[in-house]
Each structure stands twice: as C-alpha cells, then as structure tokens.
Chains A and B, each alone.
Chain A
Amino acid sequence: MVSIRTEEITKRFGDVVALDGVSLNVREGEFFALLGPSGCGKTTLLRVIAGLERQDEGRVYFDGRDVSDLPPHERRVAMVFQNYALWPHMTVFDNVAYGLKLKGLPKEEIAEKVRWALRLVRLEGMEDRTPFQLSGGQQQRVALARALAVEPEALLLDEPLSNLDAKLRLEMRGELRKLQRELGVTAVYVTHDQEEAMSLADRIAVMNRGRILQVGTPAEIYERPANYFVADFIGQSTFIPGTVRSASGEVYEVETNLGVMRAVPSTPGSDFHPGEEVILAVRPENLRLGCGRGSNEVEVKVVHVAYLGKHLRLLGEADGIRVVAELDKDSEVGSGETVRLCADPEDVLIIRRS
C-alpha cells in the first residue's frame, strides 16, 4: 500500500485549466474522497495520478518515489471507471483475469485469484456471463473485482456508484468501505455527491475550478468550512453578509443588516481586521427558538415549515436573507408567523468572501 502525494499539479486542455496547482497528500491505507461540482477537475486529477493523463506541471509521488514519468501499469494502481469499462467481448472471468494474464501468472494461479476477487464482491458463479447479462450493480462489482484482482497498491475510483439507483448505491457504499478496510488498500474516490463523500471517506478534498479548497475529515469540513464555497457546497447554511467591527479574543462583533452579531472564525487561528467584509454562516441545527444570554437573535418571517420526521425544517426570510433552521419536531410554528431564532456565537462562523 502506498501513500500518494501530488505537488503543484497543473493540467490544461487548450484554454481550459483543468487543474491549477493541486497539492495533495493521501495517507497509506486511507479512504480519500475528491469532492466537487461537475467539471471541477476531479477525473483529471485521478487520471494524472493513474498516469493516463500527463500533467503540464508538477509531480506525483508514491511513497515519496517520483512516479511522474512512469506509464500507468508501472504505477501499480487500479482504476474503476464511472462507466465500468467492462469489455463486452469478454466473459466476467476473462475481464477479471485480463490484468493477471498480462502479469504472466500461471493458469492455476489466475483462476484462483479470479475466484478470490469474485468472492470478495459476492459474484461467485457468474464467471461465464458476459457484461450484457449483468445488472448495473453486478457490472459495477465486476469492475471492482477486476481492479482488486491485480492486488494494486492503490485503488482509484471515479464516481463508481453514480450509475446505480439510490438503494443500490447505499448498499454498495457500505460494501466498498468494508472491502477497502479489509484489504487495507489506499483508495482515492471521486464523487460529486457530498453525502457519499461524507459517509465514506476518512478525509475529503473539496475541489472547485481545478483547485483544492479544503482538505479535512468530514466533520472538519462540515463544521469548519474554510470558505464560502465549501460552506455552501457541503450541507445547508444560512448566510449573512456583514462587516467586522471589533474583536475580543476569539469572538468578533460583525455588523449585519440583521443587527450586530457575535461570531467566531470558521477556521481557528484566522484573523479578521475591522472593516473587513465577511460572510457569516450558520448550520440549520444551530438555530433554535429559545434564546439564552449572549446568543445572537434574528427575527424571521416563516415561509414554509416541512415535517421531516425527527425535525421540522423551517424556511424563512429575514430582510432578504434566506434562513434555514432545523427545529424540534414539536415546536409550534406556522407559515406566515414571525419567530425569533437564536444562535450561540461559537456556532456563527465567519468566512472570507472570496
């Protein structure tokens, strides 16, 4: 198993800058997700790591070894493509055995490894089928088995679940994670589905427009988004623009259209100076009805209340700002009312505008 490091990778396609100085560190045995909207460069980064695409600048290291000039197969990684790329003219067995045959293994060993890989993905007995005779989920698992059969140093997965229906996707998520843990293989997982990334990954890199905006554990990314894009892309928030007035320790006072708010920097240690234009972000579960001392208060006109089982989701509006809150399910609110919502200062995050 290897650790993967990319250093200032830049890749252009004509005028399009697909990757713009991407530096990344994937630890050995880690399940690492690349998360970002469509076209942000996730696939390109994965292909650069795999050696399918040659970067214009920057280097790729496996375990500290510079592999930038190695062809794909010498990097000893396996890839699962979004469309599975199963060869339709080969049976399941031949698909899985292809990489092993190229290694020149004896027939017996190949057969054994194919069986092992197919058992891992619970497809024993399907050896003789062709890809056409498999369901989408089964095809996906053949692709996975084919990748695992060669016992790669790292597994590169490009939206492997995006073509499955919702239920299957949930099921496969669990299996994928279990397999990766058991085998201890380093995995880089590309997705544009934030929920998938959050539930699967040890760590996530959020990308936009060819850059990495933040790397962290799911909790860090959710609770401490580094910038507006991340806060907006991951989960939901109420965003309030404002201007920093003063600071006292970690807590800042920020002037907004809804009054002065007390808030903390979203990433610890960052400094804001008075007069700086910022955005305040509050997660829905951090807004509540009963206010305590020292908490921020906003008056919100309720637009819609949705019943979500455990909670009520309140959509409201305060001076042109869209407010989202998650309230206790027996809270008494109705559309058209005006309510007072409160948030503690440590739950109101200050984010830079850009």
Chain B
Amino acid sequence: MSRDPLILGMLAVSLGLFTAVLLIPMFEIVANAFWYQGSPSTYWLEYVLRDPFYFPVSAWVDGRVPFLHLEITTVGSPYTIRGDTLIISGVDYGVILNTLMVAVTVTLISTAIGVTLAFFFSRYSFPGANALRTAMMVPILTTPFVGAVGLRRMISIHGTLNTIFYDYLHLLPYRVVFDGLAAVILVQSLVFYPIVMINAYATMVSIDPTMEEQAEIFGSSGFKLFRTITLPLAMPGIEAGSLLVFILSLEDLGTPIVFQGSNAEKLLTYQIFTKIFSQTGLILPEGTALAFYLLFFSMVAFFVIRKYVALKQYAMLSRGGTWRPRTRRIGAARTILVYAVSLTILFFALLPHIGVILLSVADTWGPSPIPESFSLKNFRFIVEDHLTFSSVRNSLIYSTVATLIIMVVGSGAAYVVSREGGRWSEILNYLATMPIAVPGIVVAAGLFYTYSATPLNPVINPAYLLTLAYSVRRMPFTVRSAFAGMLQTHVNLEEAAWNLGASRTRAFFNVVVPLVLPNVIGGAMLSFVYCMSEVSTSLVLGGANPAFAPITWKMADILYSLGGGQFPTAALGVLLMSLQLAAIVGSNVLLKQRVSALVGA
C-alpha cells in the first residue's frame, strides 16, 4: 500500500463515510436485534419466529411421542371470488416467508422473461430488432413506488383493463383484480425484468460464437443447443441479474405501501417501516429483529454475487479468430412470434407508465378506461402547493449535494481500488459495492437510531442524514463507472507525469481526472436519478420533519392524506420519470455504452 498522502486521504475519507453511514448504523441494528433487557440475547429473534403473524410454523419438543411437534398456522386461499370479481391476492405465510416467497417468485418471473428476451435479441435478427430491444428496456425507467400507483389504477376493479376486457369485450369471465402480495409480485416483476434482460443480453452477445457452432457441427440445435451450451455459458450474467432482482425485491418498500390495506403489508420492509416512530427515532425491538432477518437475506445474496458468480465468470477461452456476434435471420412466422411475446410483455410492463401518465393529466377518473376529463391542475398543484414545491426543491438540493459527494468520494475510491493492492483497498472494494445489498429501510432505521441523540437528529433537520444516506446508497453506480474508466486509463499515463516531476496528487488532477471525467459524470447522473427516487430513507428520515422532507415522502403523504391524492402523486411521478429519462439518455451518450455496465451487479 502506498503511503502517498493522496491515496491515504482518499482511503480515509471513503472508509470514514462508509463506516459512519453504513457500517455503524448496520451494527446498531444488528446489536439491538441481539439485545434483550440489558444483555446479549436472541430473545427478539426467537420472539419473531414464534409469532404466527411473522412465521407460521412453530416447533417444540416435549416428552410425548413424537418428540418434535410442528404446527403450521392455516393459510388463506390465494384468490377469492366476490360477485363478478376475481381477486388474486396470494397466500399469506407470515411476514418472513412472504418476503422470501415474493422475492423468489419475482426473481423467477423476471429471470424467465429477461432470459427469453435476451435470447431473442442476441440470437435472432429481424426487422426492428434494435428498436424493440430498446423499447423492452423502458420499464427500467420507473421506480416501483410510482409504477405501483399507475398499475393499481389500470388493474383495479373498475380499472382500464377490466373495463376493456370485461365490460366492453366480455373476454374475461370475471373482473380480475390483483391485490396484496400478488400485486406486489406483478408490479416488481414488470419493473425488474429488464435488469435480468440487460445482464443476460450482455453475456449472450459476448459468448464466442464458435462455442455454439462447434455444438451445431455435432448436431445440436434448437432448445438442446440453448440448454447445453448457450444457457450455461450465459449463467454468470443471468445469475448476477437475478440476484440483483432478488435483493431489489427484498428491499422494495414503495410497492407494499401503495398496496397497503391488504396482505401486502405482511412484508418485512413494510413491517419494519411501521415499527419506526419517526417523531422520536424509537424503533420497536421487534423491528430490529425483522431488520436483521431482512439484512441477512440480502447479504447472503450479495455474497453469492461477489464470490460464487465472480468465480464462474467464464472469461472466454478465446484467442484470436474472427469474432462476430452470431445472429440468425428468422422467418416471418418466428418474427411474428417474437413480436407477439415481446409486445405482450411490454404491454403489461408499460401499464404502470401509461397509468401514471394518464393519472397525472386527469381531472377526474371514474370507472372508465381513460380519464373523463383532462387538466394540468396536478402539475399546477406541484408548483402552487407550498410544501409540495419545497419537497421537490429539497430533493433537488439533497440529491445534488449527495451527487457531488458521490463524485468526489466515488472517484477517489475507484482510484484507490484500481491502482492499489492490499487489504485496505480490498475492503474498500467491498464497501463501495455493499450499499447494493443493504436494504434502504435498514440503513434508514440504523441512521435514525444511531444519530438521534446528536445534532444530526432528523427530527431537528433530516437534510444532513438524508444527504449522507443518499450519497452512500447511490455510490455504487458512480464507483463502477469510474472504476471502468480508471482501468482503461493506463497507469503509464500517470507515471509519465510523475516522471516529469508531478506529485501523485498533481498527476491525479492533471491526468486521471480529465480522462475519466466522462465516466464519473455518466455514473453520477444515474446516482442522481436514484437519489431523487429513493424511497425508504426518504420516508423514514424525511418523515421526521415534513418541512425538510423530500419528494418521495411528499408523494406518499399526498397519496394517503388528500382525497384523490393519486393525481398529484402521479404528476410528481411523471416529473421523476422525465428526470430519469433525461439522465439515463445523458449518461449513455457520455459513456457510449450499454446501461448494463451500470445496472449490472
């Protein structure tokens, strides 16, 4: 490890930030989960497991035969029929199993969709393939919070779909309503499949075509070829994408909030959320136990990504030879099939967006497929309502400051990790990607708990903690793209400057910074976008003092306090989506690369 002041400074600042905003809060939560009546204990962790609300299986041992007794609390039916309405709400197995079940189901569905689409786009060539591929990525533009509001409008009893398919076309035997856990699964799958798609696609196009050709020479084709060669070779990318979806599903708080009032409330994030009292910073010990379980699940997934998947990266055994991604021109019938599958998925995936956009310009919207009358009053509301307007302004300020911190600390961290070996650099490497794996609600709870007795107390002013929380949680985007830039910037370029007498610090600012700036800005734009749309820390910390609350807190607030609150919420959602679109397009132009590198784990 170099003793250069620049390196040491960067290391100290970034380690300090991660320790203060990530590690200590995590530690506080875990420590509390393992604490009962003044001493270490697993009381609360067991308590949670004994309550059928959280965990439906209880087991105990006694003297009778058989010795081990299991009792499983009866669970409800996955759907109910009420009059002409079929309500699909999923089975409730208690909070812990629900959370895992939702995450696993969402992961499976988005993986199936994502891999199928990736296969189409990486192996078939047909008219409009590129445009279709880009279109299929659009759902990534939403946040679950906003998407759920829009989707709920489209799929509710008198929502657009039921009106069209039941009332008008009579295609459905019932009005179909997704609610509760089933709705959460639906929303998350539609929002997250592009993450698997983009990762799977990136690996599939990077598979050396001769791998498949060799198998074809032996007579392998169709599904057999896919199952024995393509799929196993694409597995590292698929797994990375799937595990990321698993983590994102685990930590999603926005969707259960939108569907509250149903069994969607029986998810870990939501339960933890309700056990934090924003006005005092108090967290019920039950809440910390739940947070521990949530953290545990997502950390396991994170370590699997980092160890197991990374090891299996089949750095293709390729040396020379012509390499052109191999796509097969397909006939009309198959092209139609590809379009049919893709557009069906896209139709459902875009429902949330369509819903949000329609809501945002709706004046009133009763039981009809589209609003009865349109107006811009929802957007006017954003500007005119004092607290709403200031929430937008607050978010812009917090996110901008957080992004500046991210740019400085993130490039420093990327620089240290790319240029220095050694234990500290390795630790930093882990820390810089770990925020992906720490659920926002855990960070929020931990920060609140840790800093409530300090001047940073969010009840006084949540601005500081929010900004710090944003900067740490959204750091990975920038670190990853800065790191990619550093790797491309050969160390020789710096050495040449040192050779001419420049100090390391000087060479860093004169040589490295200008060269990697596009990467840093590209990553920072994404970081900014995701700061703006951050839900869990915003709700928990922002809720402590509404005058300083950010946009997402205000959205939740409007959604449930005003009558017809969904309209202005949707307008805020459209505002967020436009910002996302602008930033992602901007960052792609700057980075001239696929979003994959930034979204991939």
Contact = CB atoms under 8 A, between A and B. Distances in A.
A pairs with B? yes
Contacts of A83: 208, 210, 317-321
Interface string B361-396: 000000000000000000000000000000000000
Interface in B303-353: 314, 316-322
Contact of A87 (B211, B221, B319, B320): B211
B236 to A, nearest CB: 10
Given A43-B322, A83-B210, A139 B217 contact: no
A78 interface: yes
A84 B317 contact: yes
Interface in A65-88: 71-74, 77-79, 81-88
Contacts of A132: 317
B233 interface: yes
A72 B218 CA distance: 8
B232 interface: yes
A82 B550 CA distance: 58
B238 to A, nearest CB: 13
A184 interface: no
Contacts of B224: 102
A103 B219 contact: yes
Nearest to B323: A83
Contacts of B210: 81, 83, 85
Given A83-B317, A88-B314, A73 B232 contact: no
A79 B208 contact: no
B321 A139 contact: no
A77 B320 CA distance: 23
A331 B211 CA distance: 56
Nearest to B212: A85
A324 to B, nearest CB: 31
B214 interface: yes
Nearest to A78: B217
Interface in B225-241: 228-229, 232-233, 235
B317 A73 contact: no
Contacts of A77: 217
B220 to A, nearest CB: 6
A150 B221 CA distance: 17
Nearest to B318: A83
Contacts of A72: 213, 216-217
A99 B218 contact: yes
Nearest to B210: A85
Given A81-B210, A83-B210, A88 B317 contact: yes
B316 A82 contact: no
Contacts of B460: none
B183 to A, nearest CB: 38
B404 interface: no
Contacts of A159: 321
A71 B210 CA distance: 16
A98 B215 contact: yes
Given A89-B232, A98-B215, A162-B320, 5 more contacts: A43-B321, A43-B322, A50-B217, A81-B213, A102-B218
5 contacts: A79-B214, A83-B318, A86-B317, A87-B214, A87-B215
Interface of B: 208, 210-211, 213-221, 224, 228-229, 232-233, 235, 314, 316-322
Of all A-B residue pairs in the complex, the 7 with the closest CB atoms, nearest first, are A73-B219, A99-B218, A85-B210, A82-B321, A89-B232, A88-B314, A85-B214
